[in-house]
Chain A
């Protein structure tokens, strides 16, 4: 009854067709996300950018709603930096931020894991990075990325997220959230180069059979985040070049679930990073 009464209010994000599932499950699903019958009647927590960081260190935007494409500065082409090849010592002051696929990179690429810092978590989204307390601090508390970055300086920051939130919003809103995160990072880490890793593709089987997690949707979002690159401090690296088959799907031999690389196949990604570095 509670769910029905508030179906247009706090339960609206969880409300499905009553033909598909019992109304009760709406209440339970919502409870799992911290929305209880006694919670204030507002939909999911409103996304908030890390306002403080943004205000203090605003570099290149004053608008609260950034639009994709705006940030590509009108600079001469020769100003742009080119990729070069480096060795593993390059990653000693690098930070990697990402979802389960980044977790995999930390676990199965010793060269990176022993050198770089990883803030990676299964099912992480760009919205989590922006809004949530998801990093375990040394004293065991959960803190936001912005808190974690305080007092630390990284010179290279690699990000890869985007597969988990593919059902949320559209490429534009995803790109906008991504921009807020990148801007926040740039503000907090002024000396860092940000590498936006393309969202890794899924394999052919997944691509052909999944209405949501397919490479068309992934590419639409890659296009949105590609525009964030200024090629001076922010770079887009298309890691799919390293892991795709001839048809442009994630190499099926290298994955068992179609989404994650097997432990043995993180190396091509590592090699690609070595070959696409800015010094």
Chain B
């Protein structure tokens, strides 16, 4: 069950919220944990054991290491975490019939983050319930965002306030309203924009890449770029919205990436909780950019190899990561010395190269990828039975979704929203978006999230 499931929206979430807020503040963390376990159990009734065991083992390690500060114990913990993820990923690659528990990689990211932060003295105490909620909380368990541990303790509703009932009630209701706004926007992005663009991307696959025209190949690349963006941004907003409804702060995962000034900047704005995770737990510990350019290049390569492998153990992900890493290095070591050139080429990189890298990301088969790239850049003709007007037909069918995608990608739309989010017209608009999304959901089975098994 994902967030864009009618049963989640109209049944599970309201029930969870009611039970959560009826519980006295002191016990709310336990209610949240119970709800998270129920949510995960609905999605994965057997492999829930893996996550519960992982939580327990990590807690035991943390309990010991908070006093001992054994580096080897930290290393052992991290090795165990990575092995856990590696084991399930390998089972998938070797087709052993063992599926990876949903959201395991996000869980492992949090495990490592917790252990390292705890070792660094950034976390005080070893509360089991806080750790369990951090790792298992249902808004983030399936597909992130990858919060840090302090996120969990910044919850006002877990402390008994001095306010009277009326004031407390108002606080809860306005909090839920605030979260609901993010949730509705995310739902609309996911269900109306992303899921419909996914159909166009799928249509292109159905035609077969050798039979698409070059304009359609480019349309496909931009469509997929928007599809992936709104799918994941939409999901992240829904997750953040549910978090807010539960009393947590907003967590940002996307910040207008397609308006980034370079590819380096793009990856600071795209899935930024993953980017900062790699920065803090891989790139910086390796020395970051403080040990000369050669070492910086090496560190970047390590980060991007990990990023590629994390997305999947197929060649296309390594090529995808390799291309991005290479361009980031060119931007960093060459272009950054010529400011005006960097400003121009940086943006071209984002608007042209990023869509091409998403194509590499999307097509797992090397044979198909080669065909698609040759349709994008037809340096030699491998086409069969191409219909030259195919892109016009696709534009005619899908232009509203492409237009919505382009519109909502614009930073000014977000800025206007932020400024006027309590305006009656905006609230009315959101109400409209919600019902449009619900109508669409009721009439389609919906696409599963693309990042679900990563």
Given contacts A107-B387, A108-B211, A264-B208, contact A22 B443 (CB under 8 A): no
Confirm or deny: B202 has a beta carbon within 8 angstroms of a beta carbon on chain A: yes
**A87-129 near B? 1/0 per residue, CB < 8 Å:** 0000000000000000000011110000000000000000000
Confirm or deny: A262 has a beta carbon within 8 angstroms of a beta carbon on chain B: yes
Give complex CA distance A29, B6 in Å: 12
On whether the beta carbons of A108 and B387 are closer than 8 Å, the reply is: yes
Confirm or deny: B390 has a beta carbon within 8 angstroms of a beta carbon on chain A: yes
On whether the beta carbons of B206 and A257 are closer than 8 Å, the reply is: yes
On whether the beta carbons of B386 and A21 are closer than 8 Å, the reply is: no
On whether the beta carbons of B208 and A107 are closer than 8 Å, the reply is: no
On whether the beta carbons of B443 and A32 are closer than 8 Å, the reply is: yes
Confirm or deny: A34 has a beta carbon within 8 angstroms of a beta carbon on chain B: no
On whether the beta carbons of B207 and A262 are closer than 8 Å, the reply is: yes
On whether the beta carbons of B11 and A22 are closer than 8 Å, the reply is: yes
Given contacts A29-B442, A256-B205, A257-B205, contact A264 B384 (CB under 8 A): yes
**A13-47 near B? 1/0 per residue, CB < 8 Å:** 00000001110110011011000000000000000
Give complex CA distance A51, B150 in Å: 72
On whether the beta carbons of A22 and B6 are closer than 8 Å, the reply is: yes
On whether the beta carbons of A264 and B385 are closer than 8 Å, the reply is: yes
User: How many A-B Cβ pairs are below 8 Å?
Assistant: 63
Which residues on B sit within 8 Å (CB–CB) of A262? 206-208, 210-211
On whether the beta carbons of B387 and A28 are closer than 8 Å, the reply is: no
Confirm or deny: B10 has a beta carbon within 8 angstroms of a beta carbon on chain A: yes
B115: min CB distance to chain A, Å: 41
**B177-210 near A? 1/0 per residue, CB < 8 Å:** 0000000000000000000000000100111101
Which of A31, A32, A256, A265 counts the most B-chain CB atoms under 10 A from its CB?
A256
Name B207's contact: one of A20, A263, A267 (CB within 8 Å): A263
Give complex CA distance A32, B436 in Å: 12
Give complex CA distance A25, B443 in Å: 8
On whether the beta carbons of A108 and B442 are closer than 8 Å, the reply is: no
Confirm or deny: B7 has a beta carbon within 8 angstroms of a beta carbon on chain A: yes
Give complex CA distance A267, B208 in Å: 14
Smallest CB gap from B383: residue in A? A264
Confirm or deny: A201 has a beta carbon within 8 angstroms of a beta carbon on chain B: no
Given contacts A21-B7, A24-B6, contact A263 B210 (CB under 8 A): yes
Which residues on B sit within 8 Å (CB–CB) of A31? 439
Confirm or deny: B354 has a beta carbon within 8 angstroms of a beta carbon on chain A: no
On whether the beta carbons of A108 and B10 are closer than 8 Å, the reply is: no
On whether the beta carbons of A22 and B7 are closer than 8 Å, the reply is: yes
Which residues on A sit within 8 Å (CB–CB) of B387? 107-108, 263
Give complex CA distance A263, B217 in Å: 14
Give complex CA distance A168, B211 in Å: 33
On whether the beta carbons of A256 and B6 are closer than 8 Å, the reply is: no
Name B385's contact: one of A24, A108, A256 (CB within 8 Å): A108
Q: Which of A253-274 contact B (CB under 8 A)?
A: 256-257, 260, 262-267
Give complex CA distance A25, B6 in Å: 8
On whether the beta carbons of B439 and A32 are closer than 8 Å, the reply is: yes
Give complex CA distance A29, B444 in Å: 9
Confirm or deny: B246 has a beta carbon within 8 angstroms of a beta carbon on chain A: no
Smallest CB gap from B368: residue in A? A256
Task: Please tell me the size bucket of the interface on A.
Answer: 20 to 34
On whether the beta carbons of A29 and B443 are closer than 8 Å, the reply is: yes
**B1-37 near A? 1/0 per residue, CB < 8 Å:** 0000011001100000000000000000000000000
Smallest CB gap from B204: residue in A? A256
Smallest CB gap from A260: residue in B? B206
Given contacts A22-B7, A25-B442, contact A257 B385 (CB under 8 A): no
On whether the beta carbons of B206 and A256 are closer than 8 Å, the reply is: yes
Which residues on B sit within 8 Å (CB–CB) of A265? 208
On whether the beta carbons of A263 and B208 are closer than 8 Å, the reply is: yes
Which residues on A sit within 8 Å (CB–CB) of B206? 256-257, 260, 262
Give complex CA distance A108, B7 in Å: 41
Give complex CA distance A22, B443 in Å: 13
Give complex CA distance A257, B208 in Å: 10
Confirm or deny: B146 has a beta carbon within 8 angstroms of a beta carbon on chain A: no
**B208-227 near A? 1/0 per residue, CB < 8 Å:** 10111000000000000000
Which residues on B sit within 8 Å (CB–CB) of A29? 442-443
Confirm or deny: B438 has a beta carbon within 8 angstroms of a beta carbon on chain A: yes
Given contacts A257-B202, A264-B385, contact A21 B208 (CB under 8 A): no
Smallest CB gap from A267: residue in B? B385
Which residues on B sit within 8 Å (CB–CB) of A260? 206
On whether the beta carbons of A263 and B384 are closer than 8 Å, the reply is: yes
Name A28's contact: one of B7, B210, B385, B439 (CB within 8 Å): B439
Give complex CA distance A192, B148 in Å: 72
Give complex CA distance A263, B204 in Å: 10
Smallest CB gap from B438: residue in A? A28
Which residues on B sit within 8 Å (CB–CB) of A263? 207-208, 210-212, 384-387
Give complex CA distance A31, B208 in Å: 35
B15: min CB distance to chain A, Å: 12
Name B10's contact: one of A24, A110, A266, A267 (CB within 8 Å): A24
Name B443's contact: one of A20, A24, A28, A267 (CB within 8 Å): A28
**A244-258 near B? 1/0 per residue, CB < 8 Å:** 000000000000110
Give complex CA distance A109, B386 in Å: 9
A73: min CB distance to chain B, Å: 40
Q: Which of A119-150 contact B (CB under 8 A)?
A: none
- Chain A residues packing against B (C-beta within 8 Å): 20-22, 24-25, 28-29, 31-32, 107-110, 256-257, 260, 262-267
Per CB-CB distance, the 3 closest pairs between chain A and chain B, nearest first, are: A263-B211, A262-B208, A28-B442
- Known contacts A31-B439, A263-B387; 13 additional CB pairs below 8 A are A20-B7, A21-B6, A22-B11, A32-B442, A256-B205, A257-B202, A262-B207, A262-B211, A263-B207, A263-B212, A263-B385, A264-B210, A266-B385
- Chain B residues packing against A (C-beta within 8 Å): 6-7, 10-11, 202, 205-208, 210-212, 384-387, 390, 393, 438-439, 441-443
Q: Could you show 25 A-B contacts with beta carbons less than 8 Å apart?
A: A20-B7, A22-B6, A22-B11, A24-B10, A25-B6, A28-B438, A28-B439, A28-B442, A28-B443, A29-B442, A32-B439, A32-B442, A107-B387, A108-B207, A108-B385, A110-B385, A256-B205, A256-B206, A260-B206, A262-B206, A262-B210, A263-B207, A263-B208, A263-B384, A264-B208
